[in-house]
Amino acid sequence: MPPPTPTDSLLADAAICRPQSRTDLFVSFTMLALQGFGGVLAIVQREVVEKKRWLTREEFLEDWAVAQIMPGPNVVNLSMMIGGRHFGLPGALAALAGMLAAPLVIVLLLAILYGNVADTPLAQGALRGMGAVASGLITATGIKLIAALDNNPMGRALCIAIAAMTFVAIALLRWPLVWVLLGIGGVACIWTYRVLGLKERLAQGAVP
Amino acid sequence: MNMLPTLSNWVELFNHFASLSLLAIGGAITTAPDMHRYLVTEQGWLSETQFTSSIALSQAAPGPNVLFVALMGWNVGLNAGGGPQVGGVAWMLALLGMLIALVAIMLPSSVVTYTATRWAHANRQLRSVRAFKAGMAPIVIALLIATGWLLMAAHDQVAHDWRLWLLTAVTTLLVWRTRIHLLWLIGAGAVLGAMGWV
């Protein structure tokens, strides 16, 4: 299939390409994974939507939301959804293998290299510095997402309170994750369900 | 764990990671505090340094961050075999540990995701789907911040670790406020650390 001209891509917002084969899926997602350091969301959007044109922008947003609410790494979930849509279970597995295989080999080589020099002060210092940066990256990712709470049906204040309780339970009290998710998470989901129902009834009542 | 682990140790590890897999909403990194509680505090299968270095190395490498779980499994196996200096047996156990950890963290979540995504895609307007997504949002955020906190909290000698805390704070600010490429930050952290400044 010839690549579309820029005009076409602006007019037609339909995904006009699809992965050619399971090998195509494997190779494409391997290339994608190898470009992703730390955060991969920007790279996924560029590759899958703009370069490969396997998804439109709208489809990408919808699929990304679903990939996020599913357990497991978001990008891996998204790759499985795309692979599965076109080639069923084998497609999902090809995409999954593409995301994990080559990066796994690289990270193991890094770990072995590091293991050989782990006793030197230079390597220990470097990893100590990288660890401090890594914890900053993760914290900042969390802080960036706080903005998304503005549109939450529970309201910003309640969301912050729930987040604070979760932080105390996990980081300070060190409670097991499963009880925190079932307890605080369960209450939050039920509460949101009720708020959404109330809003639907209000919306229906307001429009005669 | 300086003697060879029993089969039940491996089964226990697999079960723990497999149950965390289903709780990993927002990515595997949100389960890191629980892995720390289990592997470092309760079982003593990993040292504090190995835990932090697994996460730091996987952040520095390309690919999804879930690979930090593979490194933790690798280190558990290596420790179980008596460390890399022992040779053959330790490397085999490291590979085994890596496979067990990675399969355990990936399998349950992948099965659930594969089967549930079509349903969720078709029913994305449903109240229960939206309630689940919105209700979990603040918790996912808190888990990310708790992970960052936990990685720092291991360094608690104020007189000596305050520069490390400062580096984390500056990184947080830069990632939050700028579009600077993450590799530069990781590289800068490595250089600062190697020079002995943090």
> Based on the number of CB atoms within 10 Å of its own CB, is A133 exposed (0-12), middle (13-18) or buried (19 or more)?
buried
Residues B56 and B82 in one domain: yes
Return residues 34-63 of B near A (CB < 8 Å): 34, 37, 41, 52-63
Residue of B171, B173, B180 to mutate, testing the A interface (most A Cβ within 10 Å of its Cβ): B171
What's the total number of domains in chain B?
Answer: 2
A4-52 pLDDT per residue, tens: 444 444 444 556 789 999 999 999 999 999 887 655 666 787 788 888 9
Q: Are residues B43 and B110 in the same domain?
A: yes
Q: Could you tell me if B83 and B14 lie in one domain?
A: yes
Q: Are residues B72 and B150 in the same domain?
A: no
What is the 3 state secondary structure string of chain A? CCCCCHHHHHHCCCCCCCCCCHHHHHHHHHHHHHHCECCCHHHHHHHHHHHCCCCCHHHHHHHHHHHHHCECCHHHHHHHHHHHHHHHHHHHHHHHHHHHHHHHHHHHHHHHHHHHHCCCHHHHHHHHHHHHHHHHHHHHHHHHHHHHHHHCCCCHHHHHHHHHHHHHHHHHCCCCHHHHHHHHHHHHHHHHHHHHHHHHHHHHHHCC
Is residue B2 situated within a structural domain?
no
> What domain range is B37 assigned to?
7-122
Write out pLDDT tens, residues B52-110.
Answer: 999 989 888 888 889 999 999 999 999 988 887 788 888 999 999 999 999 999 999 99
Residues B143 and B99 in one domain: no
**Pair B33, B10: CB distance under 8 Å:** no
Handedness of CA B137, A199, B128, A79 (dihedral sign): negative
Q: Are residues B115 and B183 in the same domain?
A: no
Task: Assess whether B144 and B181 both reside in one domain.
Answer: yes
Check whether residue B50 and residue B77 sit in a common domain.
yes
- Same domain flag for B83 and B56: yes
Q: Among B71, B97, B122, identify where a domain stops.
A: B122
Pairwise CB contact (< 8 Å): A152 & B134: yes
**Predicted confidence (pLDDT) at residue A185 exceeds the cutoff of 50:** yes
Residue B156 in any domain: the answer is yes
Across residues A53-70, what is the average pLDDT?
Answer: 80
Kindly state whether residues B40 and B87 are assigned to the same domain.
yes
Residues B100 and B169 in one domain: no
Closest residue, chain B, to A62 (C-alpha): B121
For residue A1, the model assigns a pLDDT of: 45
Of B81, B101, B122, which residue constitutes the final position of a domain?
B122
Contacts of A30 in chain B (CB under 8 A): none
ipTM confidence = 0.81
For residues B2 and B81, give the distance between their C-alpha atoms in angstroms, rounded to a whole number: 7
DSSP B65: T
For residue B170, being part of any structural domain is answered with: yes
Name the nearest CA neighbour of A139 among B68, B169, B69, B27. B169
- Which range has the top average pLDDT, A60-74, B11-25, B138-152? B11-25
pTM for this model (two decimals):
0.81
Give tens-digit pLDDT for A115-167.
Answer: 888 888 998 899 899 889 988 988 988 888 888 788 889 999 999 999 999 99
Say whether A63 and B106 touch across the interface (CB within 8 A).
no
pLDDT at A4: 47
B109 and B142 inside one domain: no
In a domain, B74, yes or no: yes
Least confident of A1-10, A142-151, B112-121, B122-131: A1-10
Q: Domain limits of chain A?
A: 11-116, 139-204
Q: Which residue of chain A has the CA closest to B123?
A: A66
